[in-house]
């Protein structure tokens, strides 16, 4: 089964929760000639991982986080693809109903905001389906 791996460092342990910091690099950040064209940045991201084996880890441990590629694609779908579809669809619907471009755009962005509100309100349920596995390096 395909999966996505990220190496990180345990920053904090609270009961069965581990806070793991990973370094998220842009495409240019890992390039050996990045200084020649455009300086790029790497960004630190902190993930909260629930693990029954959290007691086996210590702050500062180097770890590997793994999630199935299918779950990664679902995250991309929910956070990027569906909002773009919502904007285009509701913009087209507004224009076809005879609304001005500005009004149609407001309707489209309002609908997208409602979509993100629904995602936010259902985040606990979604959190359970995006399980990372964690192991020491």
Domains of the chain: 3-136 (2.40.50)
pTM tops 0.95, yes or no? no
**pLDDT tens across 86-132, in order?**
999 999 999 999 999 999 999 999 999 999 999 999 988 877 777 77
The predicted pLDDT at position 67 comes to 81
Each residue's pLDDT tens digit, 32-72: 445 445 445 567 888 888 888 888 899 999 999 888 778 87
pLDDT computed for residue 94 by the predictor: 96
Q: Buried b / exposed e across 21-55, counting CB within 10 Å, b at 16+?
A: ebeeeeeeeeeeeeeeeeeeeeeeeebebebeebe
**61 secondary structure, DSSP code:** -
Q: Please tell me the distance from the alpha carbon of residue 45 to that of residue 7, in angstroms, as a whole number.
A: 11
**What angle in degrees, to the nearest 10, is found between the helix axes of 82-96 and 101-121?**
150
């Amino acid at each position: 089964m395909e999966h996505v791996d990220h190496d990180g460092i345990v920053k904090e342990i609270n009961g069965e929760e581990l806070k793991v910091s990973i370094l998220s690099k842009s495409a240019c950040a890992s390039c050996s000639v990045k200084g020649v064209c455009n300086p790029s940045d790497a960004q630190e991201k902190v993930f909260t991982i629930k693990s029954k084996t959290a007691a086996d880890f210590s702050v500062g441990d180097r770890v590997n986080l793994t999630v199935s590629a299918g779950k990664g694609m679902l995250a991309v779908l929910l956070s990027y693809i569906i909002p773009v579809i919502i904007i285009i669809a509701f913009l087209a619907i507004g224009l076809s109903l005879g609304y001005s471009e500005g009004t149609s755009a407001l309707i489209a962005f309002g609908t997208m905001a409602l979509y993100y509100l629904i995602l936010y309100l259902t985040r606990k349920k979604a959190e359970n389906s995006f399980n990372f596995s964690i192991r020491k390096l």
